[in-house]
Chain A
Amino acid sequence: MDFTFNEEQKMVIDGARRFAREKLAPFIAELDEKAEVNLKALKELGKLGYLGMTLPEDFDGSNAGAIAYAASMIEFSKVDAGTAVAVSVQNSLVNDAILTFGTEAQKKEFLPRLASGEWIGCFTLTEANSGSDPGSLRTSAIRDGEHFVLSGTKNFTTNGGIADMMIVFAQTCKEKGAKGISAFLVRTDVPGFKVGKHENKMGIRSSSTTEMVFENCRVPASALLGEENKGLKVALTTLDGGRIGIAAQAVGIAEGALDEAVRYAKERVQFGRPISELEGLQFMLADMATEVEIARTMLFRVAWMKESHSQKFTKEAAMIKLYASEMAHRVCHKALQVHGGYGFMKEYKIERLYRDQRITEIYEGTSEIQRCVIARSLLGE
């Protein structure tokens, strides 16, 4: 067993850290306040190869692997969890879905443009009345000869407002419920589609989250991603990989919170000495660091499982998504507590990290859904 990064991975991670420090950190406070996307940084990440990390070079991917990807996600998330989730969606949800389920023609059309950042992608599944239960989707895709006609409204779509293309999930056979869903690859400039409401979020405010509105939007049958009525498989398989990205985001936020807590504890003087000398506070820091380390270790094991293609990792991906997101909750809570009243103020980074953390327990499968996935696997269902 070897728990070290190789030299190539180290350089990729160092690059991500430097990018976060130089190109994300100076802007995040303002972008968070204004709820704006750092599109320039995202495009630059594409040029550097961070938007095609798990794609083969045949499709202009950088093929850096799931481990380097997870580690880079940690570095971005420490500084700007909003930009990080855009990176995660592109890599884990969009690229991986097309790579796994796309036809050669679809791969050739979409993947090089996504890998380079020329196109930003999104994955639009959730609807107002269909969150954890994808069988209840109302957006429909009705076949009309060699076309499908999409109608309905999606919501909470990450990258929605900046996307050039999307993977859309819609009902193609209503009677079959969850088994009547299909996935489509659709450009956002297609007639009949428009971006709806931009959500005003609690955290990850430097990411775009929108409604996606389809009104008699005609797409060719060749836009089907995977087989007709097999969209649920596309969604669930893709979300397995997505969970690695979100777990890495949670680990990054937690690491960022721990760094802030340690720094503040050394600086803040009460009772005539730095509060870091108080044992009660030391115990908090020790617990935080331990939990972060545990999550990191498991995260890289799951990333390794994905990278080595050695075995199915559905259960483990659910476990690390569950653990890392809830761990990040505890760590951010304690890190803010270490800051006392200052932690409640926007001048301190921990205030943003605390808000950014919350979504990691919800999107790409709530903690409760992760527990269902884990239990189902345990009980052999």
Chain B
Amino acid sequence: MNVAVILQQVPDTEAAVKPNPAVPGAILEEGVKFILNPYDEFAVEEALKIAEKDGGEVTGVCIGPDRSENAIRMAMAMGMERAILITEPAAVEADLVTQGGILAAALKTLSPKLVLSGREMIDSQNDAAAAVVAHKLGIPHVLAASKIEINGDKAVVVRDIEGGSLEIETALPAAISCQKGLNEPRYPTLIAIKRAKNKEIKKMTLAELGIAAAPSKSRVTALRQPQARAAGVKITGTPEEVTGKCLAWLSGTAKVI
């Protein structure tokens, strides 16, 4: 079964990210390490497991700047065979719905039986890629899968919810986003890392995908860091004094009681 995976490159979770004052919505990239979106690793692992069962192939699709190639190579080192990368600024800077249309157009060239994505992108916290792509392709979607079982032309997906879980049956093809806990992403072997270098990354333009323009209906206008938290108030004294001072502070200064 051929599986396609939507991939995204994001700043490393350990990176100290700062807004770029010159470009609204962008970060300063100097010194920042970029990685494959961690949730996408679950998607790649699941895709490989499903494809390995019957000799299918896993292909990635990605919208992002040239540096995204490194994230794709990581997925290739895990075992993904091929990828389509769209680097045109009009696509990279587009909103999620527009990007979903572009991804759907790229996916159509592959006609996969299953489309997987990470549950969310850890940088923008966008979590709608699978849903938008499904909508554009006219196929069902399930978000945040913690278990996927393929059964012929159907998939049974489990999604964890507060205090329990949902079991959802969907026809295939479908788009499913992958939650942490779905699997344990494999470590690339060193030989696979070497092989990944020579795998095909096909760069496609919007024109080649039959998309004339990619007008965004929304755009990010600013990126701000959270304000530094003010220092707390330290209250000392005997238990009686502390209780008194605490009550006085809560009612007087904080005005919460």
| Bitwise interface map of B from 55 to 93 toward A, beta carbon under 8 Å scored 1, else 0 | 000000000000000100110010000000000000000
Q: Which residue of A lies closest to B188 (CB)?
A: A15
Q: List residues 158-215 of chain B with CB under 8 A from any CB of chain A.
A: 187-191, 193-194, 196-197
Given A7-B73, A11-B74, the answer on whether A18 and B193 have CB atoms closer than 8 Å is no
Interface-central residue, B74, B77, B187, B191, by most chain A CB under 10 Å: B187
Q: How far is the CA of A379 from the CA of B73 in the complex (A)?
A: 49
| Chain B residues whose C-beta falls within 8 Å of the C-beta of A49 in the assembled complex | 189-191
A62 B73 Cβ-Cβ under 8 A: no
- The CA-CA distance from A19 to B70 in the complex, in Å, is 19
List A contacts of B187 (CB < 8 A). Answer: 15, 18-19, 48
Q: Which residue of A lies closest to B193 (CB)?
A: A11
Enumerate chain B residues within 8 angstroms of A64, measured Cβ to Cβ.
Answer: 190, 193-194
The CA-CA distance from A15 to B189 in the complex, in Å, is 9
Residue numbers of A with Cβ under 8 A of B are 7-8, 10-12, 15, 18-19, 47-50, 53, 57, 62-64, 68
Residues on the A chain within 8 Å of B189, using CB: 47-49, 62
Given contacts A19-B187, A63-B194, could you give 20 more A-B pairs where the C-beta distance is less than 8 Å?
Answer: A7-B73, A8-B193, A8-B197, A11-B73, A11-B74, A11-B188, A11-B193, A11-B196, A15-B190, A18-B187, A47-B189, A48-B188, A48-B189, A49-B191, A57-B191, A62-B189, A62-B194, A64-B190, A64-B193, A68-B190
Question: Are A11 and B191 in touch, CB under 8 angstroms?
Answer: no
From B70, B190, B191, contact of A7 by CB (8 A): B70
Could you say which residues of chain A place their CB within 8 Å of the CB of B77? 11
Measured CA separation A7–B76 after assembly (Å): 13
B79 to chain A, nearest CB (A): 13
Contacts of B188 in A (CB 8 A): 11, 15, 48
Q: Are A62 and B190 in contact (CB under 8 A)?
A: yes
What residues on A are CB-neighbors of B74 within 8 Å? Answer: 11
Query: Total contacts A to B, CB within 8 angstroms?
Result: 41
Q: Bin chain B's interface residue count.
A: 10 to 19
Task: Point out the residues of chain A lying under 8 angstroms from B190, CB to CB.
Answer: 12, 15, 48-50, 53, 62, 64, 68
Interface residue ranges, B against A (CB under 8 Å): 70, 73-74, 77, 187-191, 193-194, 196-197
Which residues of A lie under 8 Å from residue B191 when comparing CB positions?
49, 57, 62
A7-B73, A48-B187 as given contacts; A15 in contact with B194, CB under 8 Å: no
* A12 and B193 alpha carbons, distance in the complex (Å): 7
Q: How far is the CA of A64 from the CA of B190 in the complex (A)?
A: 7
Closest Cβ–Cβ distance, residue A6 to chain B (whole Å): 9
Residue among B70, B189, B190 facing the most chain A CB atoms (10 A cut-off): B190
Residues of B within 8 A of A7 (CB): 70, 73, 197
Report A143 CB to chain B, min CB distance, Å.
41
Q: How far is the CA of A307 from the CA of B193 in the complex (A)?
A: 18
* Most chain B Cβ neighbours within 10 Å, of A8, A11, A49, A64: A11
Best-buried of A12, A19, A49 by chain B (most CB within 10 Å): A49
Can you list 27 residue pairs at the A/B interface with Cβ under 8 Å?
A7-B70, A7-B73, A8-B194, A8-B197, A10-B70, A11-B73, A11-B74, A11-B188, A11-B193, A12-B190, A12-B193, A15-B187, A15-B190, A19-B187, A47-B189, A48-B187, A48-B189, A48-B190, A49-B191, A50-B190, A53-B190, A57-B191, A62-B189, A62-B190, A62-B191, A64-B193, A68-B190
Output the nearest chain B residue to A18 by Cβ-Cβ distance.
B187
Question: Once the chains are docked, how many angstroms separate the CA of A18 from the CA of B188?
Answer: 11
List A contacts of B196 (CB < 8 A): 11
Contacts of B194 in A (CB 8 A): 8, 62-64
CB-based nearest A residue for B73: A7
Bound complex: CA of A369 vs CA of B173, how far in Å?
A: 67
What residue in chain B is nearest A64 (Cβ atoms)?
B190
Name the distance in Å between B234's Cβ and chain A's nearest Cβ.
12
Residue of B nearest to A19 (CB): B187
Using Cβ atoms and an 8 Å threshold, which residues of chain B touch A11?
A: 73-74, 77, 188, 193, 196
Q: How far is the CB of B246 from chain A (nearest CB, A)?
A: 23
Q: Within the assembled complex, what's the spacing in Å between the Cα atoms of A8 and B189?
A: 12
Report chain B residues within 8 Å CB of A48: 187-190
* Among all A-B residue pairs, the 6 with the closest Cβ atoms: A49-B190, A62-B190, A11-B193, A49-B189, A64-B190, A48-B189
Cα(A299)–Cα(B196), bound, Å? 27
Contacts of A8 in B (CB 8 A): 193-194, 197
Which residues of chain B come closer than 8 Å to A63, judged between CB atoms? 194
A131 to B187, CA, bound (A): 40
A49 to B188, CA, bound (A): 9
User: A283 CA to B89 CA in the complex, in Å?
Assistant: 46
* Shortest CB distance B198–A (Å): 11
For the complex, give the distance between the alpha carbons of A303 and B129 in Å: 44
The CA-CA distance from A96 to B126 in the complex, in Å, is 49
Measured CB to CB, the closest approach of chain A to B200, in angstroms, equals: 16
Name the distance in Å between B123's Cβ and chain A's nearest Cβ: 18
CB distance from B44 to the nearest CB of A (A): 14
Contacting residues, chain B, for A50 (C-beta < 8 A): 190
Residues of chain A lying within 8 A (CB to CB) of residue B197: 7-8
With a cutoff of 8 Å between Cβ atoms, the chain B residues found around residue A47 in the complex are: 189
Q: How far is B197's CA from A8's CA once the two chains are assembled, in angstroms?
A: 8
Kindly provide the distance from the CB of B70 to the nearest chain A CB, expressed in whole angstroms. Answer: 6
Best-surrounded residue of B73, B74, B188, B193 (most CB of chain A within 10 A)? B193
Q: How far is the CA of A35 from the CA of B74 in the complex (A)?
A: 36
* C-alpha spacing A257/B127, complex, angstroms: 39
Complex CA distance for A137 and B122, rounded to whole angstroms: 60
